[in-house]
Amino acid sequence: MPNLLDIITKEMTLGNYSGKTIKAYSAVYKDIYKKFKRPLRDITEDELKEYLYQRVKAGLASQSIALAANAINFLYTKLYKRQDFKKLSHPRKTHTLPTVLTKNEVELILEQTKNLKHRVMLGIAYGAGLRVSEVINLRVRDIDIRELTIIVRQGKGKKDRLTVLSPRLIINLQQFINGKNAGQYVFESERGGKLTATTAQKVFQQCLKKSGILKPATFHSLRHSFATHLLENGVDVRYVQELLGHSNIRTTQIYTHVTNPSLKNIKSPL
């Protein structure tokens, strides 16, 4: 199994898969091996279908089932190159509306930390619509204070994109990037190097708890809120798509359901 995982890691790295995807696929392969206790090459299609079926019965999210199916399909079609293997289908993704914070709630969350670095980190995540991985990987050279822009390098899908920087953040941002070289991370840990995603998420959850907001929000809700508030301000959905780095505009259009003014203006008959 270790040799197989090494081969898979090399193949996926050469295929330009992200480290996150490689780790997720490897976890699926380990789980399959643990269940069947024999080489993955010898496992039949019926057994693999039963494996997915059991995950569905266990109540796993459709996204988790889809990831497992994609991992299996990659292994048997790309690595083993089995001509007789029919790709496994998976359940349709469930469509749920994202958790969005109001502008006042975002302000309230930002006020809950006295730590300058943490406050600017959350401010940039919201003000630029960044994922947690994009925030912790942000380097000094990626920020153009004069142009009020940020370059997100190798975001999801290995794509670079340009997004906006709020002028409200400049003074505080300059306080802790002055003296750093261009290649240093903007948000470094106390021991040097970049912050971990776990640390950034914990900072958000602590601020959320202090704010008294009861919504099931996560760090990613700041990005959801960025998109929703831009649409509420009249920004065209295609520009929002570019700022978020979505390949398909349908992904961006989910925010139009959250901010539909026509629906919000309807009054309940009760």
Any domain includes 28: yes
Residue 8 sits in a domain of what CATH number? Answer: 1.10.150.130
Any domain includes 95: no
Any domain includes 193: yes
Asked if 256 and 156 sit in the same domain, the reply is: yes
Final residue before a domain boundary, out of 79, 111, 134? 79
Asked if 107 and 40 sit in the same domain, the reply is: no
Residue 127 sits in a domain of what CATH number? Answer: 1.10.443.10
Any domain includes 89: no
Asked if 74 and 114 sit in the same domain, the reply is: no
Final residue before a domain boundary, out of 46, 79, 112? 79
- pLDDT of the residue at 192: 77
- pLDDT of the residue at 18: 84
Asked if 73 and 150 sit in the same domain, the reply is: no
Q: Which helix (H) or strand (E) holds 154?
A: strand 149-155
Asked if 255 and 141 sit in the same domain, the reply is: yes
Q: Which residues pair with 188 in a beta bridge?
A: 194
Domain count, the chain: 2
Residue 71 sits in which domain range?
2-79
Any domain includes 127: yes
Asked if 7 and 132 sit in the same domain, the reply is: no
Any domain includes 98: no
Asked if 9 and 133 sit in the same domain, the reply is: no
Asked if 137 and 71 sit in the same domain, the reply is: no
- pLDDT of the residue at 193: 79
- pLDDT of the residue at 1: 64
Any domain includes 94: no
Q: How far is CA 29 from each of CA 13, 76, 109, 165, 221, rounded to the nearest angstrom?
A: 17, 11, 40, 41, 31
Residues with pLDDT less than 70, the chain: 1, 91-95, 261-263
Q: 113: which residues sit within 8 A by CB, 6+ positions away? A: 119, 122, 203, 206, 207
Any domain includes 84: no
Final residue before a domain boundary, out of 44, 79, 114? 79
Q: 239: which residues sit within 8 A by CB, 6+ positions away? A: 230
Asked if 44 and 178 sit in the same domain, the reply is: no
Q: Which residues are catalytic?
A: 131, 156, 220, 223, 246, 255
Q: What is the pLDDT of residues 151-210, one digit of tens each?
A: 999 777 778 999 999 999 999 999 878 889 999 999 988 887 789 999 999 999 999 999
